[in-house]
A and B are shown apart, each in its own frame.
Chain A
Amino acid sequence: MRREAPQKIGDYAPLFFPATMLIVFFVVPFATMIAVSFFQRQQGGFYVPAFVLSNYERFLSLFFANVLGFSLMLAVVVAICCVVLALPFTYLLTRMKRKVQIVWLVALLSVLSLSEVIIGFAWSTLFSRTAGITNLLVMAGIMSEAKALLPSFGAVLTGMVYQAFPYTVLVLYPALVRLDPTLTEAARTLGASPVKAFFTVVVPALRNTIVATLIMVFIFALGSYLLPQLLGRPQHWTLSVLITDQAIYQSNMPFAAAMAVFLVLVTLGLVALTVMAGRKGEAA
């Protein structure tokens, strides 16, 4: 089948619905948020339409820079952990029998049906002193005394990786299934071990997919605001937690909007940098 360029307006018709959806549910709310971020906050009240920069000024401080830095770092670490775990996992999965694959995929999809709240509370129980996994280690004689593993950075990271892992697998899966098996076979024939073949043939062949997955998990992790509260200390709270505080508890919509706009801009900037670096790498 040959793909023809659209000739008449009618040929664009299939685009109208998604375009309308995009405008109504993304462009309009986002534009509203940008507008509100310039409004004047009225302390002890709400806000009035205006054009002021004070909301952005308040954000430009060492304190918020640290919180932003931590949020970005956390999202990057989550993305890297997820991809490092999910890539070999998905690769092995695609080599299994179809039935086994279906069981695994259904199990992973069912994790997606859990809400962040349930994931958070489940991990906080697993990491607790009174009912957590350290009790098993004590029973096995590995540890002398049960102890709490939360609140800690490790707990936050575990929860977030757990939450993002199924997405990572689902994004990697199609690319790995389509990967030509003769590539690895050729590598094996030429004497590479399975591990070497994975790292020298599979990983480079999937370069673009891996970068795209990293970006997707990074953005997904950046929006997390519940798990850092449930599993971490205040220094592990992300910028999203502080945005929620301002929007819901302080009724300071302009400041919350300014922080959110800033977060989106920084994210877009980082994604653009990654894509550009990827292109340069390809050219070299």
Chain B
Amino acid sequence: MKDLVNRPLGRRAVLAGGAAAVSMLAMPSILRAQDKSLKVGVYGGYFKDSFDKNIFPDFTKASGIAVESIAEPTGEAWLVQLDQAAKAGAAPADVSMMSQVSMLKGQSTDLWAPLDVTKIPNASNLIDRFVNKYPDGRIAGIGAVSWYITLVTNTDVFKEAPTSWEALWDPANADKLGLLALVSNSFLLEVTAKTYLGGTNALDTEEGIQKAFDKLAEVKPNVRLWYRDEAQFEQSLKSGEIPMGQYYHDVTGLAAADGNPVRSTFPKEGGIQDSGCWALSRASTKVEEAHVFIDYMSQPSIQATLSRKVGTSPTVKRELTDLTDAEFAAVSSDIDPIIPRYDLYQTKSDWLNQKWTELIVG
């Protein structure tokens, strides 16, 4: 399988390789850094490109550790690959950026090497919830990036910004909403629980989840589009065809900056904050380098750079960063966020998926 992926070495790749070799000779510091190296898995596409451009070269300069970035497929395919490789004693990447559900699934097979916080002094900068722990307290992962899904509206259609997620339930908004189509990426159960049931703890029991589903069923007549494809909703939001919905805060901000009549609002119940962790495969031999890398990434200045260049929300406390109010507002908010109940998507995923599909399709 690996051979199959690596074999087709296109002309472009050869040229890029040549260019890299030339630049390496031109920069002896990086050549020396070859002694120490680290393979880092990052979501392929936009994330990987941004990290390759804005983050990794500076890290290599600062630490002398060369980074080989690896494009991770989205979904759980990467977790499965890491897990199977670890069983064979191999690590396709040393450190990987993992979704919270994947972190939990990896914990169940002890896939993540416990991290030593004494070697990550900058971990103290992190907001507590971004330290991912095994049930016994060992540290499985450290928050890499986070992002918000908020309530977005078309400003031509909605002159006043909505203030609460309750707007989704408003009968006046019939057939006007675009919402994410999957239970595990829309996090609408959590939104329902926080808005109407007093918090996401209401989802602890199946009765509580049932209540949230019942309440959520009332939203259905308002929904015009359940989207899997982001481009589909973004286009409709900009044109006013579908004037309200849930979408990524930073992307909406960029669209508004381009002159589109859209806005992103943090409702009073909070935006939905999703995040990814850095985690180290137990099969990796680069334990020292991995700690240096994770420590470097947890610096407030690097988190601020990520906010400015990649559009992610900092995983460190706001007051430690030098982000201006405008820069911070472009990626985040001080309103207490809605944190998804990732544990549910591990322990009850099939049940939730079935209930959800029946809710929106039935």
Contacts and interface: CB of A to CB of B under 8 A. Distances in A.
Given A129-B241, A130-B239, A130-B240, A41 B350 contact: yes
A224 to B, nearest CB: 15
B239 A131 contact: yes
B349 A242 contact: no
Interface stretch (B22-30, B90-98, B135-143, B221-229): B221-229
A128 to B, nearest CB: 5
- Interface bin, chain A: 20 to 34
Give the most central of A128, A237, A249: most B CB within 10 Å: A249
A245 B182 contact: yes
Contact of B241 (A43, A44, A130): A130
Nearest to A237: B361
Nearest to B107: A44
Interface string A119-152: 0010010001111000000000000000010010
A250 interface: yes
Interface string B338-362: 0000000011111001100110111
Contacts of A234: 181, 226, 360-361
B336 to A, nearest CB: 28
A67 B361 contact: yes
Interface in A36-86: 41, 43-46, 58, 63, 66-67
A151 B76 contact: no
A9 B358 CA distance: 56
A230 interface: yes
Chain B's interface size range is 35 or more
B48 interface: no
Interface string B302-323: 0000000000000000000000
A235 B77 CA distance: 29
Nearest to B84: A46
A277 to B, nearest CB: 32
A204 to B, nearest CB: 42
B192 to A, nearest CB: 18
B152 interface: no
A46 B106 CA distance: 11
Interface in B144-177: none
Interface string B171-200: 000000000011011000000000000000
Given A43-B347, A44-B346, A46-B80, A128 B105 contact: no
A249 B345 CA distance: 12
A128 B239 contact: yes
Contacts of A102: none
Nearest to A46: B80
A46 B350 CA distance: 12
A242 B361 CA distance: 10
Contacts of A27: none
B135 to A, nearest CB: 14
Nearest to B182: A249
Given A63-B358, A234-B361, A43 B349 contact: yes
A235 B239 CA distance: 25
Interface of B: 75-77, 80, 83, 104-105, 108-109, 181-182, 184-185, 224-226, 228-229, 232, 236, 239-241, 346-350, 353-354, 357-358, 360-362
Nearest 4 CB-CB pairings of A with B: A44-B346, A234-B361, A130-B239, A234-B360
Given A235-B361, A237-B361, 15 more contacts: A43-B347, A44-B108, A45-B105, A63-B361, A128-B239, A129-B241, A130-B241, A234-B360, A234-B361, A235-B362, A249-B182, A249-B184, A250-B349, A250-B350, A252-B353
12 contacts: A43-B346, A44-B349, A46-B83, A63-B362, A128-B236, A128-B239, A234-B181, A234-B226, A242-B357, A246-B353, A249-B182, A252-B353
